Structure 1
Amino acid sequence: MSAIEWIHSFDRFDGKGGIKPGLERMVAMLDLVGRPHDRLKFLHVAGTNGKGSTCSYLAAMLQAAGYKVGLYTSPYLIQFHDRMTVGGVNISDAELEQIVAQLRPVVEQVAATEAGRPTEFEVLSVVSILHYAQQEVDFVVWETGLGGRLDSTNVVTPLLSLITNVGMDHQVILGDKLEQIAAEKAGIIKPGVPVLTTAQGVALAVIEQTAQATGSDCLQSGQDFSAQRTSFGWDGQTFDWQGFGHTLDHLRIKMLGAHQIVNASLAVAACMQLQEMGYVISESSMREGLLHTAWAGRLEVVAHKPLTVLDGAHNPEGAQALGTALRELLPEQKVVLIVGVMADKAIPEVLAPLVPLASHVVVTRANMPRSALVDEMAQMIYQLDPQLSVSTSQSVEEAFQLARGQVLEADGVIVCTGSLYMISEARALFFH
């Protein structure tokens, strides 16, 4: 059995099947391998949307400043090894096999205890910690998997905690009220460790209360730092940033959508806080890192004839952000929409911001059991707009064939959105 096959042999945490969130298995595994996480400097990132992009901006700026950076994100969009990189380079097959060989007996030892058999994500998280420790990285940019308080990644004490926006997602596991979800995200805040956030409203209030209880500084977007967008287009966008007694004018990013300004602003604030803590990160490094950041599957243009855009808007907040961006970038223009969502998502709320932008919708599904049934999604679209033309497909590849058949105008646009698993399958059609 290969290393990847072994990792995939573990249960995935889905809130079902008796698998419970908790840190006891992580702690047990890490104790048995010598607690390598204690030797690493983590920047821990939680939130509902924007985690991956914020992590990517942050890693790129630190790398531009000359630091060796480990980046841990999920899920992967291109290949399994994307989940753990060092200096932008994926873990190799040989490195993965070596670490798994070391970890197998440890996992079996833990599985035989009351803690029970680890989940796939728990095993992955320990593999990545061992990899970053072996590589002797300067920083680990460390994205949570789900929630925060009981997430596998929450075994570390970071230099900084970052929390992006907080919205309604994973309610079955995290709770059905925004305050409950925010409390889970705020669970990554550690005593005395500064937290930086772009959350707002009741979620921000929960984060502030948690920071106060742990004696942690809480640095907020709109109060301690801010960003103002100055231009945008299909080639990228610019913004001015203020905070920490500094003003950075005309910062440029290639990623699209007003929400990416928010994500980039949070990453800049984290770099400024690290500067205050004694780390050297020049303004030119920040500019360079921002400019060269790319994050697959986030308003990503993958073809031009017809213009084809992929975006992993898999929850209501993500769909709202995508809808806003499309209205800005394609004013007065309807799109052919390909959509597929996981069955456990708030599907009508994901569809609602996007259906009005479509001339035709192709409903499809990723090749995995958790995907929503296409006929049920088609019925939801009919309830939102009985006049809208809808077709269905059981495969992502066929969905694109149907969508291309619907693009009649020379300047027609295809937008594929929903589950990141589906976006991964879509990307494979364009990048071999």
Structure 2
Amino acid sequence: MSATDWIHSFDRFDGRKGIKPGLERMEAMLLLLGQPHRDLRFVHVAGTNGKGSTCAFLASVLEQAGYRVGLYTSPYLSAFGDRMRIGGCNITDDALDALVDRVKPVVEEVAATVHGRPTEFEVITLLSILFYAQERVDFVVWETGLGGRLDATNVVTPLLSLITNVGRDHEAILGQGIERIAVEKAGIIKPGVPVLTTAKGVALDVIERTAREQGAPCYAADRDFSAKRTAYGLDGQSFDWRGIGDHHVALRIRLLGPHQIDNAALALAACVQLRRMGVAITGEAMQAGLKSAAWPGRLEIVSQSPLTLLDGAHNPEGAAALAAALKELLPNRRLIFVIGILADKAIPDVLAPLTELAAHVIVTRPDMDRAAQTSDVADAVRTLAPTTPVETMDRVSSALYRATVLAMEQRGAVICTGSLYMISEARAVLVP
């Protein structure tokens, strides 16, 4: 059995009660391994949308500043090793094999206790901690998997906690409503550890309350730091950033969409806070890091003829952000959507902002059990947009080919969106 086969042999869901909450298994395994996480410096990032982009911006700046940076994200898009990176390079198969050999007896020992068998995500998180400790990285940019309070990543005490926006996703697991979800996200806040956030409204109230309870300084967007966009286009966008003490800097990023300004602003605020804590990060490193940061599958242009964009807008907030960006960037283009969504998502709420813009919709599904049936998604599209042509195709590759033909005929653009799992399949087809 290969290393990845062994990893995937663990349950992602237990089949009846959902994921297994709690940190006991992670803590027990780390104790047996000598608690390697205590030798690492983490920046912990939670939130509903924008976590991965924020992590990418932050890691890029730290690398430009000369540091060896581990980047832990999920899910992967092209290869399993995407989720464990150092300096932009994936973990190698040989390194993963060696780590799996090391953790197998520990996992088996804990599985035989009252704690029970770890989940797949817990095993991957454990492996990543060992990997970064073994490689002696300077910093780990550390993305939560789901939620925060009981997420496997929450066994660390970071230098900073970052929380992006808070939206209504994974309510079956995290609880109903923004306030309940915000409580779970705010669970990454540690005593005395500064927290920075772009959350708004009731979510911000929860985060600030939690920070006060933990004696943690809290810095919020539009109060303690802010960003104003000055230019945008298909080649990127520019913005002015202001922070504590009226510190001001003009910046440019390659990532598209107004929401990426928020993510970049949060990453920059984190860099300024790290610098106040004694981490050497120059203004030049901040500018170069943000400008060079890339994050596949997020309003990513993968073809110019026809113009084809990939975006993993898998929840209502993500879909709304995608729609807002498309209205700005492609106001007069006929948009051919290729959409594939997981069955456990709020499908009508994801579709609503997209169907307003669609000239044609092709519904497909990623190759996984959790994918929604194409007929169900197509019915939802027809309810929302009765006059919009809708087709269904079970294979992502076939749907992309059909969309490409339509876009060429109509001088339009292809927008492939929905589950990140589908985006992964689409990239395998479209990106050499």
TM-score tier after normalising by the smaller chain length: over 0.9
2: distance between equivalents of 1:206 and 1:381?
35
1:177 shift after superposition: 1.1
Name the residue aligned to 2:258.
258
Name the residue aligned to 1:428.
428
Name the residue aligned to 2:104.
104
Name the residue aligned to 2:198.
198
Deviations 1:239-295 (A, max 9, x none): 000002253432000000000000000000000000110111000000010011000
2: distance between equivalents of 1:94 and 1:316?
40
Pair 1:254–1:72, CA change in 2 (3 A): same
1:412 shift after superposition: 1.2
Name the residue aligned to 2:23.
23
Amino acid at match of 1:221: A
Name the residue aligned to 2:218.
218
Normalised to the residue count of structure 1, the TM-score between the two structures is 0.98
Name the residue aligned to 1:139.
139
Preserved CA contact (<8 Å) 1:253 1:291? yes
Name the residue aligned to 1:120.
120
Amino acid at match of 2:101: A
Deviations 1:159-193 (A, max 9, x none): 00000000000000001111000000000000000
Q: Does 1:277 align with 2:277?
A: yes
Name the residue aligned to 1:5.
5
1:42 shift after superposition: 0.5
Name the residue aligned to 1:375.
375
- Residue 324 of structure 2 aligns to a residue whose secondary structure is helix
1:14 shift after superposition: 7.1
Q: State the aligned residue count.
A: 432
Preserved CA contact (<8 Å) 2:334 2:410? no
- Residue 183 of structure 1 aligns to a residue whose secondary structure is helix
- Residue 199 of structure 2 aligns to a residue whose secondary structure is coil
2: distance between equivalents of 1:256 and 1:215?
36
1:385 shift after superposition: 1.2
2: distance between equivalents of 1:304 and 1:321?
22
- Residue 190 of structure 2 aligns to a residue whose secondary structure is coil
Normalised to the residue count of structure 2, the TM-score between the two structures is 0.98
1: distance between equivalents of 2:56 and 2:171?
26
Preserved CA contact (<8 Å) 2:362 2:399? yes
325-334 or 278-287: bigger deviation = 325-334
Name the residue aligned to 2:151.
151
Deviations 1:104-151 (A, max 9, x none): 000000000010000000000000000000010110000000000000
Preserved CA contact (<8 Å) 1:46 1:148? yes
2: distance between equivalents of 1:133 and 1:333?
49
Name the residue aligned to 1:68.
68
- Residue 379 of structure 1 aligns to a residue whose secondary structure is helix
1:17 shift after superposition: 4.7
Preserved CA contact (<8 Å) 1:306 1:410? no
Identity among equivalent pairs (%): 62
Pair 1:218–1:15, CA change in 2 (3 A): farther
1: distance between equivalents of 2:15 and 2:22?
12
Name the residue aligned to 1:298.
298
- Residue 356 of structure 2 aligns to a residue whose secondary structure is helix
Preserved CA contact (<8 Å) 1:240 1:247? no
Q: Does 1:324 align with 2:324?
A: yes
Amino acid at match of 1:174: L
Amino acid at match of 1:217: P
Name the residue aligned to 1:362.
362
**Runs of 4+ deviating beyond 6 Å:** none
2: distance between equivalents of 1:192 and 1:342?
38
Amino acid at match of 2:215: G
Pair 1:48–1:19, CA change in 2 (3 A): closer
1: distance between equivalents of 2:221 and 2:337?
33
2: distance between equivalents of 1:201 and 1:33?
42
Amino acid at match of 1:121: F
Name the residue aligned to 1:235.
235
Name the residue aligned to 1:55.
55
Amino acid at match of 1:223: R
Deviations 1:345-366 (A, max 9, x none): 0000000000011110000000
Name the residue aligned to 1:315.
315
2: distance between equivalents of 1:61 and 1:18?
37
360-369 or 242-251: bigger deviation = 242-251
- Residue 343 of structure 2 aligns to a residue whose secondary structure is coil
1:18 shift after superposition: 5.8
Pair 1:10–1:72, CA change in 2 (3 A): same
243-252 or 32-41: bigger deviation = 243-252
Name the residue aligned to 1:400.
400
Preserved CA contact (<8 Å) 2:43 2:139? yes
1:16 shift after superposition: 3.7
2: distance between equivalents of 1:14 and 1:294?
35
